[in-house]
Each structure stands twice: as structure tokens, then as C-alpha cells.
Amino acid sequence: MAFDYIDRDESLQYAFIRIPKAMMDPDGYFQAISSGSKMLYGLLLDRMSVSMKNHWLDEQNRAYVIYPIKEMADDLGASPRKTSDCLAELERIGLVEKKHQGQGKPDIIYVKNFAVIER
């Protein structure tokens, strides 16, 4: 049997947004977070690969994301207002931290890692 090659358009079907399983636990810490905020967190995690390619690290070697609300809203399929609400929810519980750059520049967003590493 011969399989067809995957072309450029079809390759997108294999790109995934990952949402940590811990966020889906109905009895877990993140149970009260909205689905939109969980999806946004997955998008922010995905954007970390862009940060690494661009060497977006602060003076303390912490990676950050530059992701304007308009782009987030487009990717999330939501209004900018809804997206801002989701980002505020993530910020309120400590999963992200925003740093304002001013002068019309988008905020720098630190995506926090809540995973516990066992050794």
C-alpha cells in the first residue's frame, strides 16, 4: 500500500494546541477556570516555541511571550473583550504575569509553569 504525501495545507492538521491534563481534572485546582481561559493557556504555551526561536528572555533568563490581544482573539475565535477576560482570569490565579511596555507596544507575558517536577 502506498500512502500520499502530506502537502503544506494538510500538514496543519497535525499541529496541535496542548492543554495540560491537570487543567481538565474536575476535582483539581483548575476546575473553576473557564474553558476559554484553559484554551488561551494552551495557545500561550504554544507561543513559547516562538519565544525560544526569537530568544525572548529577560535579564533573569525567564522566557516571555509577545502576543497582542487582537492576535490572541483571532486564534481563540473570540472577541478581544472575551480574550482580555480570559487573560485576566489566568493572571488572577497566577498562571500568567503581564509586564506593560507602554508606547503602544503589546504587553510582555510570562507564562507560568505550574507543573511539579518529582525527582
Alpha-carbon span 96 to 119, nearest angstrom: 25
Can you give the pLDDT at residue 113? 87
What pLDDT was estimated at residue 114?
Answer: 76
Quote the pLDDT of residue 74: 97
Four-residue CA torsion sign, 32, 37, 43, 46: negative
Domain 36-119 has CATH 1.10.10.10: yes
Per-residue model confidence as pLDDT tens digits over 61-90: 999 999 999 999 999 999 999 999 999 999
> Regarding predicted confidence, which is higher, 6 or 31?
31
How far CA 6 is from CA of 11, 15, 74, in Å, comes to 6, 13, 26
When pLDDT is cut at 50, 70 and 90, the band that residue 50 belongs to is confident
Tell whether the model's pLDDT for residue 119 goes beyond 70: no
**In the structure grid, which three cell numbers stand for residue 49, read together?**
516555541
